[in-house]
A = this chain, B = another copy of it.
Amino acid sequence: MIWGTIFLCLVFQAILVFGVQDLKNLNIWPMPKSVEYGDKSIFLSKNFHLMTNGSKYLDKDGILKDGFTRLLDVLTANNVIEYVGKVDESVLLQGIHVVVNSESDELQYDIDESYKLYIHPEGSPIYANIEAATVYGALHGLQTFSQLCHFNLKSRKLIVNQIPWTITDQPRFSYRGLLIDTSRHYQPLPMIKKVIDSMAYAKLNVLHWHIVDKQSFPLEIPSYPKLWNGAYSLTERYTMAAAAEIVSYAKRRGINVLAELDVPGHAESWGVGYPALWPSKNCTEPLDVSSDFTFKLIDGVLSDFSKTFKYKFVHLGGDEVDTSCWSSTPRIQKWLKQQGLNESQAYEYFVLKAQKIAVSHGFEVINWEETFNHFGSKLDRKTVVHNWLGGGVAEQVVEAGLRCIVSNQDKWYLDHLDATWDMFYMNEPLTNITKPEQQKLVLGGEVCMWGETIDGSDIEQTIWPRAAAAAGT
Protein backbone atom coordinates (compact mmCIF):
# COMPACT_ATOMS: atom_id res chain seq x y z
CA MET A 1 0.00 0.00 0.00
CA ILE A 2 2.77 2.36 1.02
CA TRP A 3 4.74 1.47 -2.07
CA GLY A 4 1.74 1.76 -4.25
CA THR A 5 1.31 5.29 -2.99
CA ILE A 6 4.96 6.21 -3.23
CA PHE A 7 5.48 4.98 -6.73
CA LEU A 8 2.29 6.52 -7.94
CA CYS A 9 3.30 9.92 -6.56
CA LEU A 10 6.70 9.70 -8.17
CA VAL A 11 5.71 8.42 -11.54
CA PHE A 12 2.95 10.96 -11.91
CA GLN A 13 5.78 13.41 -12.27
CA ALA A 14 6.87 11.53 -15.35
CA ILE A 15 3.68 12.51 -17.09
CA LEU A 16 4.39 16.14 -16.36
CA VAL A 17 8.09 15.99 -17.14
CA PHE A 18 7.48 14.39 -20.47
CA GLY A 19 5.10 17.14 -21.34
CA VAL A 20 1.93 15.26 -22.14
CA GLN A 21 0.17 18.55 -21.62
CA ASP A 22 -3.37 17.48 -22.34
CA LEU A 23 -3.06 14.58 -19.92
CA LYS A 24 -1.59 16.54 -17.07
CA ASN A 25 -4.56 15.99 -14.77
CA LEU A 26 -4.61 12.25 -15.35
CA ASN A 27 -3.03 10.49 -12.45
CA ILE A 28 -3.38 7.07 -13.99
CA TRP A 29 -0.40 4.77 -14.29
CA PRO A 30 0.32 3.02 -16.60
CA MET A 31 -1.62 5.30 -18.92
CA PRO A 32 -4.55 3.41 -20.48
CA LYS A 33 -4.82 3.04 -24.24
CA SER A 34 -7.66 5.54 -24.51
CA VAL A 35 -9.01 8.04 -22.00
CA GLU A 36 -11.87 10.50 -22.20
CA TYR A 37 -13.05 12.59 -19.29
CA GLY A 38 -15.25 15.49 -18.29
CA ASP A 39 -15.34 18.07 -15.54
CA LYS A 40 -17.93 16.89 -13.03
CA SER A 41 -17.39 15.23 -9.66
CA ILE A 42 -19.07 12.42 -7.75
CA PHE A 43 -18.70 11.06 -4.21
CA LEU A 44 -18.35 7.41 -3.28
CA SER A 45 -21.33 6.23 -1.28
CA LYS A 46 -20.97 4.92 2.27
CA ASN A 47 -22.20 1.56 1.02
CA PHE A 48 -20.01 1.48 -2.05
CA HIS A 49 -20.33 -2.07 -3.30
CA LEU A 50 -19.68 -4.55 -6.07
CA MET A 51 -22.46 -5.54 -8.44
CA THR A 52 -22.05 -8.33 -11.01
CA ASN A 53 -25.49 -8.69 -12.62
CA GLY A 54 -25.19 -10.04 -16.13
CA SER A 55 -21.66 -11.32 -15.70
CA LYS A 56 -20.96 -14.73 -17.18
CA TYR A 57 -18.09 -15.19 -14.76
CA LEU A 58 -19.53 -16.56 -11.50
CA ASP A 59 -16.50 -15.90 -9.25
CA LYS A 60 -16.86 -19.08 -7.28
CA ASP A 61 -13.33 -18.71 -5.88
CA GLY A 62 -13.89 -15.07 -4.95
CA ILE A 63 -11.10 -13.67 -7.15
CA LEU A 64 -13.19 -10.66 -8.16
CA LYS A 65 -14.75 -10.22 -4.72
CA ASP A 66 -11.31 -10.22 -3.07
CA GLY A 67 -10.06 -7.76 -5.67
CA PHE A 68 -12.92 -5.44 -4.78
CA THR A 69 -12.14 -5.81 -1.05
CA ARG A 70 -8.52 -4.88 -1.76
CA LEU A 71 -9.77 -1.84 -3.68
CA LEU A 72 -11.72 -0.70 -0.63
CA ASP A 73 -8.67 -1.33 1.57
CA VAL A 74 -6.47 0.82 -0.66
CA LEU A 75 -9.03 3.60 -0.86
CA THR A 76 -9.47 3.78 2.90
CA ALA A 77 -5.91 3.02 3.99
CA ASN A 78 -4.55 6.49 4.30
CA ASN A 79 -7.63 8.47 5.25
CA VAL A 80 -10.58 8.13 7.55
CA ILE A 81 -13.81 8.76 5.70
CA GLU A 82 -16.35 10.73 7.72
CA TYR A 83 -19.96 10.03 6.92
CA VAL A 84 -21.61 13.08 8.38
CA GLY A 85 -24.24 15.22 6.74
CA LYS A 86 -26.37 14.23 3.79
CA VAL A 87 -25.12 14.08 0.24
CA ASP A 88 -27.43 14.48 -2.75
CA GLU A 89 -28.12 11.04 -4.28
CA SER A 90 -27.49 12.44 -7.74
CA VAL A 91 -23.79 12.92 -6.96
CA LEU A 92 -23.30 9.58 -5.18
CA LEU A 93 -21.55 6.64 -6.79
CA GLN A 94 -23.17 3.54 -5.32
CA GLY A 95 -20.68 0.97 -6.48
CA ILE A 96 -19.00 -0.69 -9.42
CA HIS A 97 -20.90 -2.86 -11.82
CA VAL A 98 -18.51 -5.45 -13.26
CA VAL A 99 -19.45 -7.60 -16.22
CA VAL A 100 -17.00 -10.33 -17.23
CA ASN A 101 -17.63 -12.25 -20.42
CA SER A 102 -15.52 -15.36 -19.89
CA GLU A 103 -16.66 -17.96 -17.36
CA SER A 104 -13.11 -19.20 -16.91
CA ASP A 105 -10.60 -17.96 -14.36
CA GLU A 106 -7.70 -19.72 -16.06
CA LEU A 107 -4.62 -17.52 -16.00
CA GLN A 108 -2.14 -18.20 -18.75
CA TYR A 109 0.18 -16.45 -21.15
CA ASP A 110 -1.62 -14.15 -23.58
CA ILE A 111 -5.08 -14.18 -22.01
CA ASP A 112 -7.25 -11.19 -22.80
CA GLU A 113 -6.48 -8.52 -20.19
CA SER A 114 -8.49 -5.75 -21.81
CA TYR A 115 -11.20 -3.82 -19.99
CA LYS A 116 -13.48 -0.86 -20.45
CA LEU A 117 -14.17 1.42 -17.49
CA TYR A 118 -16.79 4.11 -17.69
CA ILE A 119 -18.39 6.35 -15.12
CA HIS A 120 -21.31 8.27 -16.54
CA PRO A 121 -23.42 10.23 -14.06
CA GLU A 122 -26.68 9.00 -15.45
CA GLY A 123 -29.49 6.90 -14.11
CA SER A 124 -30.30 6.40 -10.49
CA PRO A 125 -28.59 4.88 -8.66
CA ILE A 126 -25.28 5.65 -10.38
CA TYR A 127 -22.63 2.95 -10.81
CA ALA A 128 -19.18 2.86 -12.30
CA ASN A 129 -18.99 0.19 -14.99
CA ILE A 130 -16.26 -2.26 -15.89
CA GLU A 131 -16.61 -4.58 -18.84
CA ALA A 132 -13.88 -7.15 -19.37
CA ALA A 133 -13.27 -10.34 -21.30
CA THR A 134 -11.69 -12.06 -18.28
CA VAL A 135 -11.73 -11.53 -14.53
CA TYR A 136 -8.07 -10.48 -14.80
CA GLY A 137 -8.99 -7.62 -17.12
CA ALA A 138 -11.64 -6.65 -14.57
CA LEU A 139 -8.96 -6.57 -11.83
CA HIS A 140 -6.97 -4.13 -13.99
CA GLY A 141 -10.12 -2.04 -14.26
CA LEU A 142 -10.39 -1.93 -10.47
CA GLN A 143 -6.76 -0.77 -10.23
CA THR A 144 -7.46 2.01 -12.70
CA PHE A 145 -10.60 2.97 -10.81
CA SER A 146 -8.60 3.27 -7.58
CA GLN A 147 -6.39 5.84 -9.29
CA LEU A 148 -9.39 8.00 -10.16
CA CYS A 149 -10.38 8.32 -6.49
CA HIS A 150 -9.11 11.02 -4.16
CA PHE A 151 -9.78 11.85 -0.54
CA ASN A 152 -11.46 15.22 -0.42
CA LEU A 153 -10.35 17.18 2.65
CA LYS A 154 -13.39 19.42 2.67
CA SER A 155 -16.07 16.75 2.52
CA ARG A 156 -13.94 14.09 4.24
CA LYS A 157 -15.12 11.68 1.59
CA LEU A 158 -13.74 9.89 -1.46
CA ILE A 159 -14.38 11.72 -4.66
CA VAL A 160 -13.98 10.98 -8.35
CA ASN A 161 -13.27 14.12 -10.31
CA GLN A 162 -13.41 14.70 -14.06
CA ILE A 163 -16.44 12.49 -14.72
CA PRO A 164 -17.77 11.33 -17.10
CA TRP A 165 -14.87 8.93 -17.64
CA THR A 166 -14.57 6.54 -20.55
CA ILE A 167 -11.43 4.45 -20.46
CA THR A 168 -10.53 1.56 -22.71
CA ASP A 169 -7.35 -0.32 -22.07
CA GLN A 170 -5.34 -3.32 -23.07
CA PRO A 171 -1.65 -4.00 -22.48
CA ARG A 172 0.89 -3.25 -25.16
CA PHE A 173 2.82 -6.43 -24.28
CA SER A 174 1.60 -9.82 -23.05
CA TYR A 175 4.65 -10.34 -20.84
CA ARG A 176 5.30 -7.64 -18.20
CA GLY A 177 7.70 -9.15 -15.75
CA LEU A 178 9.55 -8.54 -12.52
CA LEU A 179 12.37 -10.84 -11.42
CA ILE A 180 13.04 -11.62 -7.79
CA ASP A 181 16.03 -13.68 -6.64
CA THR A 182 15.62 -15.79 -3.50
CA SER A 183 19.03 -17.42 -3.68
CA ARG A 184 21.33 -14.48 -2.91
CA HIS A 185 19.01 -13.39 -0.09
CA TYR A 186 16.10 -15.42 1.18
CA GLN A 187 12.83 -13.50 1.05
CA PRO A 188 10.18 -14.40 3.63
CA LEU A 189 6.84 -15.51 2.26
CA PRO A 190 4.99 -12.34 3.40
CA MET A 191 7.56 -10.20 1.59
CA ILE A 192 7.07 -12.09 -1.69
CA LYS A 193 3.34 -11.54 -1.26
CA LYS A 194 3.87 -7.82 -0.72
CA VAL A 195 5.91 -7.66 -3.93
CA ILE A 196 3.07 -9.43 -5.75
CA ASP A 197 0.56 -6.96 -4.30
CA SER A 198 2.62 -4.05 -5.53
CA MET A 199 3.06 -5.58 -9.01
CA ALA A 200 -0.71 -5.57 -9.39
CA TYR A 201 -0.82 -1.79 -8.81
CA ALA A 202 1.43 -1.35 -11.87
CA LYS A 203 -0.39 -4.03 -13.90
CA LEU A 204 2.75 -6.19 -14.18
CA ASN A 205 1.70 -9.76 -14.85
CA VAL A 206 4.69 -12.11 -14.48
CA LEU A 207 6.70 -12.78 -11.33
CA HIS A 208 9.92 -14.31 -12.62
CA TRP A 209 11.10 -16.29 -9.61
CA HIS A 210 14.85 -16.88 -9.80
CA ILE A 211 14.55 -19.48 -7.07
CA VAL A 212 18.00 -21.03 -6.78
CA ASP A 213 21.53 -20.06 -7.69
CA LYS A 214 25.12 -20.60 -6.64
CA GLN A 215 24.58 -19.21 -3.13
CA SER A 216 21.57 -21.15 -1.85
CA PHE A 217 18.86 -23.65 -2.78
CA PRO A 218 15.87 -22.64 -0.64
CA LEU A 219 13.11 -24.67 -2.37
CA GLU A 220 11.97 -28.14 -1.43
CA ILE A 221 12.14 -30.59 -4.34
CA PRO A 222 10.12 -33.62 -3.29
CA SER A 223 11.88 -35.91 -5.83
CA TYR A 224 15.32 -34.92 -4.55
CA PRO A 225 14.79 -33.91 -0.94
CA LYS A 226 18.45 -33.22 -0.18
CA LEU A 227 18.57 -30.32 -2.63
CA TRP A 228 17.39 -27.83 -0.02
CA ASN A 229 20.31 -28.85 2.18
CA GLY A 230 21.79 -26.04 0.10
CA ALA A 231 19.52 -23.51 1.85
CA TYR A 232 21.13 -20.89 4.06
CA SER A 233 19.48 -22.30 7.18
CA LEU A 234 16.68 -24.51 8.42
CA THR A 235 14.23 -21.63 8.37
CA GLU A 236 15.31 -19.96 5.12
CA ARG A 237 13.42 -22.54 3.09
CA TYR A 238 10.26 -22.80 1.05
CA THR A 239 8.25 -26.00 1.12
CA MET A 240 6.67 -26.91 -2.21
CA ALA A 241 3.37 -26.11 -0.49
CA ALA A 242 4.70 -22.58 0.12
CA ALA A 243 5.63 -22.31 -3.57
CA ALA A 244 2.08 -23.42 -4.47
CA GLU A 245 0.76 -20.75 -2.09
CA ILE A 246 2.80 -18.11 -3.94
CA VAL A 247 1.47 -19.33 -7.30
CA SER A 248 -2.09 -19.24 -5.98
CA TYR A 249 -1.66 -15.84 -4.32
CA ALA A 250 -0.22 -14.38 -7.53
CA LYS A 251 -2.90 -15.95 -9.72
CA ARG A 252 -5.67 -14.33 -7.67
CA ARG A 253 -4.06 -11.00 -8.59
CA GLY A 254 -3.70 -11.82 -12.28
CA ILE A 255 0.01 -12.59 -12.04
CA ASN A 256 1.71 -15.70 -13.42
CA VAL A 257 4.77 -17.16 -11.73
CA LEU A 258 7.67 -18.06 -14.02
CA ALA A 259 9.96 -20.49 -12.20
CA GLU A 260 13.64 -20.47 -13.10
CA LEU A 261 16.08 -23.35 -12.86
CA ASP A 262 19.36 -21.85 -14.01
CA VAL A 263 21.59 -24.54 -15.59
CA PRO A 264 24.33 -25.51 -15.96
CA GLY A 265 26.07 -22.55 -14.28
CA HIS A 266 24.83 -20.71 -11.17
CA ALA A 267 24.19 -24.06 -9.52
CA GLU A 268 26.87 -24.67 -6.89
CA SER A 269 24.34 -24.88 -4.03
CA TRP A 270 22.75 -27.98 -5.64
CA GLY A 271 25.83 -29.97 -4.70
CA VAL A 272 25.52 -29.35 -0.95
CA GLY A 273 22.91 -32.10 -0.89
CA TYR A 274 24.19 -34.03 -3.92
CA PRO A 275 27.97 -33.56 -4.26
CA ALA A 276 27.95 -35.87 -7.29
CA LEU A 277 26.60 -32.89 -9.27
CA TRP A 278 29.88 -31.04 -8.79
CA PRO A 279 32.72 -31.74 -11.23
CA SER A 280 34.85 -32.02 -8.09
CA LYS A 281 34.96 -30.76 -4.52
CA ASN A 282 37.30 -27.98 -5.54
CA CYS A 283 35.61 -27.16 -8.82
CA THR A 284 31.89 -26.95 -8.18
CA GLU A 285 30.36 -25.32 -11.25
CA PRO A 286 28.92 -25.92 -13.83
CA LEU A 287 26.87 -29.06 -13.08
CA ASP A 288 28.64 -32.22 -14.24
CA VAL A 289 27.79 -32.49 -17.95
CA SER A 290 29.16 -36.03 -18.17
CA SER A 291 26.88 -37.62 -15.57
CA ASP A 292 23.48 -39.23 -16.23
CA PHE A 293 22.58 -38.38 -12.67
CA THR A 294 22.72 -34.65 -13.49
CA PHE A 295 19.99 -34.95 -16.12
CA LYS A 296 17.99 -37.50 -14.13
CA LEU A 297 17.89 -34.96 -11.31
CA ILE A 298 16.95 -32.09 -13.64
CA ASP A 299 14.16 -34.31 -14.93
CA GLY A 300 12.95 -34.84 -11.37
CA VAL A 301 13.08 -31.16 -10.55
CA LEU A 302 11.17 -30.17 -13.69
CA SER A 303 8.65 -32.91 -13.06
CA ASP A 304 8.05 -31.46 -9.60
CA PHE A 305 7.96 -27.95 -11.07
CA SER A 306 5.28 -28.95 -13.56
CA LYS A 307 2.94 -29.94 -10.72
CA THR A 308 3.11 -26.51 -9.05
CA PHE A 309 4.16 -23.93 -11.65
CA LYS A 310 1.34 -23.86 -14.18
CA TYR A 311 2.63 -21.05 -16.40
CA LYS A 312 3.37 -22.44 -19.84
CA PHE A 313 6.95 -21.23 -19.68
CA VAL A 314 9.83 -22.38 -17.53
CA HIS A 315 13.12 -20.46 -17.40
CA LEU A 316 16.24 -22.62 -17.78
CA GLY A 317 18.85 -19.90 -17.38
CA GLY A 318 21.97 -20.85 -19.32
CA ASP A 319 23.86 -17.60 -18.62
CA GLU A 320 27.43 -16.93 -17.56
CA VAL A 321 28.66 -20.49 -17.88
CA ASP A 322 32.39 -20.85 -17.18
CA THR A 323 33.12 -24.36 -18.45
CA SER A 324 36.74 -24.60 -17.30
CA CYS A 325 35.90 -27.02 -14.46
CA TRP A 326 34.83 -29.54 -17.09
CA SER A 327 38.26 -29.59 -18.73
CA SER A 328 40.17 -29.50 -15.49
CA THR A 329 38.32 -32.49 -14.04
CA PRO A 330 39.91 -35.69 -15.46
CA ARG A 331 36.70 -37.73 -15.40
CA ILE A 332 34.79 -35.09 -17.37
CA GLN A 333 37.72 -34.35 -19.68
CA LYS A 334 37.78 -38.03 -20.57
CA TRP A 335 34.04 -37.99 -21.30
CA LEU A 336 34.39 -34.87 -23.49
CA LYS A 337 37.05 -36.67 -25.52
CA GLN A 338 34.88 -39.77 -25.89
CA GLN A 339 31.98 -37.63 -27.09
CA GLY A 340 34.16 -35.52 -29.34
CA LEU A 341 33.02 -32.31 -27.70
CA ASN A 342 34.98 -29.22 -26.78
CA GLU A 343 33.86 -27.11 -23.79
CA SER A 344 31.70 -24.85 -25.89
CA GLN A 345 29.97 -27.76 -27.59
CA ALA A 346 29.40 -29.39 -24.21
CA TYR A 347 27.68 -26.21 -23.01
CA GLU A 348 25.40 -26.39 -26.07
CA TYR A 349 24.81 -30.11 -25.42
CA PHE A 350 23.78 -29.37 -21.83
CA VAL A 351 21.38 -26.55 -22.65
CA LEU A 352 19.68 -28.43 -25.48
CA LYS A 353 19.32 -31.58 -23.38
CA ALA A 354 17.79 -29.57 -20.53
CA GLN A 355 15.41 -27.92 -23.02
CA LYS A 356 14.24 -31.34 -24.21
CA ILE A 357 13.56 -32.44 -20.65
CA ALA A 358 11.52 -29.28 -19.98
CA VAL A 359 9.53 -29.75 -23.18
CA SER A 360 8.82 -33.35 -22.16
CA HIS A 361 7.10 -31.95 -19.06
CA GLY A 362 4.90 -29.65 -21.12
CA PHE A 363 6.88 -26.43 -20.76
CA GLU A 364 8.01 -23.95 -23.36
CA VAL A 365 11.52 -22.76 -22.51
CA ILE A 366 12.98 -19.35 -21.80
CA ASN A 367 16.79 -19.07 -21.81
CA TRP A 368 19.10 -16.17 -21.11
CA GLU A 369 20.60 -14.65 -24.24
CA GLU A 370 24.03 -16.33 -24.06
CA THR A 371 22.39 -19.51 -25.37
CA PHE A 372 21.19 -17.59 -28.42
CA ASN A 373 24.48 -15.79 -28.84
CA HIS A 374 26.41 -19.10 -28.87
CA PHE A 375 24.13 -21.50 -30.75
CA GLY A 376 20.92 -19.68 -31.55
CA SER A 377 20.15 -21.80 -34.58
CA LYS A 378 20.22 -25.00 -32.53
CA LEU A 379 17.72 -23.84 -29.90
CA ASP A 380 14.25 -25.35 -29.80
CA ARG A 381 12.19 -23.21 -32.19
CA LYS A 382 9.79 -22.37 -29.37
CA THR A 383 12.58 -20.96 -27.21
CA VAL A 384 12.08 -17.47 -25.84
CA VAL A 385 15.40 -15.64 -25.64
CA HIS A 386 15.77 -13.45 -22.58
CA ASN A 387 17.97 -10.45 -23.31
CA TRP A 388 20.05 -8.97 -20.50
CA LEU A 389 23.59 -8.09 -21.66
CA GLY A 390 22.64 -4.86 -23.41
CA GLY A 391 20.68 -3.33 -26.24
CA GLY A 392 20.44 -4.57 -29.81
CA VAL A 393 19.81 -8.23 -29.05
CA ALA A 394 16.05 -8.32 -29.48
CA GLU A 395 16.33 -7.28 -33.13
CA GLN A 396 18.72 -10.19 -33.84
CA VAL A 397 16.50 -12.67 -32.00
CA VAL A 398 13.32 -11.76 -33.86
CA GLU A 399 15.25 -11.61 -37.15
CA ALA A 400 16.16 -15.24 -36.41
CA GLY A 401 12.46 -15.96 -35.93
CA LEU A 402 12.64 -16.62 -32.21
CA ARG A 403 10.67 -14.87 -29.48
CA CYS A 404 12.28 -12.43 -27.09
CA ILE A 405 11.92 -10.78 -23.67
CA VAL A 406 13.84 -7.56 -23.10
CA SER A 407 15.72 -6.89 -19.83
CA ASN A 408 18.85 -5.03 -20.94
CA GLN A 409 20.77 -4.53 -17.73
CA ASP A 410 21.85 -0.94 -18.38
CA LYS A 411 18.20 0.16 -18.32
CA TRP A 412 16.08 -2.47 -16.62
CA TYR A 413 18.22 -4.03 -13.86
CA LEU A 414 16.86 -2.73 -10.57
CA ASP A 415 20.08 -3.61 -8.74
CA HIS A 416 21.82 -1.06 -10.99
CA LEU A 417 21.15 1.85 -8.66
CA ASP A 418 22.60 4.25 -11.20
CA ALA A 419 19.79 3.41 -13.64
CA THR A 420 17.31 6.19 -12.93
CA TRP A 421 13.54 6.09 -13.30
CA ASP A 422 13.59 8.08 -16.49
CA MET A 423 16.04 5.60 -18.03
CA PHE A 424 13.61 2.85 -17.02
CA TYR A 425 10.77 4.79 -18.58
CA MET A 426 12.53 5.54 -21.86
CA ASN A 427 13.72 1.98 -22.57
CA GLU A 428 11.91 0.77 -25.68
CA PRO A 429 11.60 -3.01 -26.27
CA LEU A 430 10.84 -2.50 -29.96
CA THR A 431 13.93 -0.41 -30.73
CA ASN A 432 14.87 -0.98 -34.40
CA ILE A 433 12.12 -3.57 -34.82
CA THR A 434 9.67 -2.21 -37.37
CA LYS A 435 8.10 -5.21 -39.12
CA PRO A 436 4.77 -6.08 -37.47
CA GLU A 437 5.44 -9.82 -37.62
CA GLN A 438 8.78 -9.28 -35.85
CA GLN A 439 7.26 -6.92 -33.30
CA LYS A 440 4.87 -9.71 -32.34
CA LEU A 441 7.85 -11.88 -31.42
CA VAL A 442 8.80 -9.45 -28.65
CA LEU A 443 6.64 -10.84 -25.85
CA GLY A 444 7.46 -7.93 -23.61
CA GLY A 445 9.90 -6.80 -21.00
CA GLU A 446 11.04 -7.53 -17.49
CA VAL A 447 12.76 -5.56 -14.76
CA CYS A 448 15.17 -7.57 -12.65
CA MET A 449 15.65 -7.26 -8.90
CA TRP A 450 18.78 -9.35 -8.38
CA GLY A 451 19.25 -10.25 -4.75
CA GLU A 452 22.94 -9.83 -3.89
CA THR A 453 22.49 -6.58 -2.00
CA ILE A 454 18.82 -6.55 -1.00
CA ASP A 455 16.82 -8.42 1.60
CA GLY A 456 13.37 -7.99 3.12
CA SER A 457 14.38 -4.62 4.51
CA ASP A 458 14.85 -2.90 1.17
CA ILE A 459 13.47 -4.98 -1.67
CA GLU A 460 10.29 -2.91 -1.99
CA GLN A 461 12.17 0.37 -1.79
CA THR A 462 14.58 -0.79 -4.51
CA ILE A 463 11.90 -2.13 -6.86
CA TRP A 464 9.64 0.94 -6.66
CA PRO A 465 9.11 3.40 -8.20
CA ARG A 466 11.47 2.44 -11.03
CA ALA A 467 9.60 -0.76 -11.89
CA ALA A 468 6.49 1.36 -12.39
CA ALA A 469 8.38 3.62 -14.77
CA ALA A 470 9.15 0.54 -16.88
CA ALA A 471 5.51 -0.58 -16.59
CA GLY A 472 4.56 2.71 -18.20
CA THR A 473 6.67 2.02 -21.29
Residue positions of A touching B, CB distance < 8 A: 1-2, 5-6, 77-80, 82, 151, 153, 156, 188-191, 234-235, 237, 239, 241-242, 244-245, 456-458, 461
Contacts and interface: CB of A to CB of B under 8 A. Distances in A.
A53 to B, nearest CB: 33
Contact of A245 (B80, B191, B458): B80
A188 B82 contact: no
B458 A190 contact: no
Quickly give the copy total for this chain: 2
A156 B5 contact: no
A151 B235 CA distance: 9
A98 to B, nearest CB: 26
Contacts of A235: 151
Q: Which 3 A-B pairs have the closest CB atoms?
A: A80-B241, A457-B461, A80-B242
11 contacts: A2-B188, A2-B190, A2-B191, A6-B456, A6-B457, A77-B189, A78-B188, A79-B189, A80-B242, A80-B244, A82-B241
A9 to B, nearest CB: 9
Nearest to A246: B80
B1 A190 contact: yes
A77 B239 contact: no
Contacts of A456: 2, 6
A461 B191 CA distance: 14
A44 B101 CA distance: 44
A191 B77 CA distance: 10
A2 B191 CA distance: 7
Given A457-B6, A457-B461, A82 B1 contact: no
A79 B238 CA distance: 8
Contacts of A80: 189, 239, 241-242, 244-245
Query: Most chain-B CB neighbours within 10 Å: which of A6, A79, A153, A234?
Result: A79
B77 A5 contact: no
Query: Most chain-B CB neighbours within 10 Å: which of A80, A151, A153?
Result: A80
A2 B195 CA distance: 13
Given A80-B245, A151-B235, 20 more contacts: A2-B190, A2-B456, A2-B457, A6-B456, A6-B457, A77-B190, A78-B188, A78-B190, A79-B239, A80-B189, A80-B239, A80-B241, A80-B242, A80-B244, A82-B241, A153-B237, A156-B239, A156-B241, A457-B461, A458-B461
Contacts of A189: 77-80
Contacts of A245: 80
A247 to B, nearest CB: 12
B82 A239 contact: yes
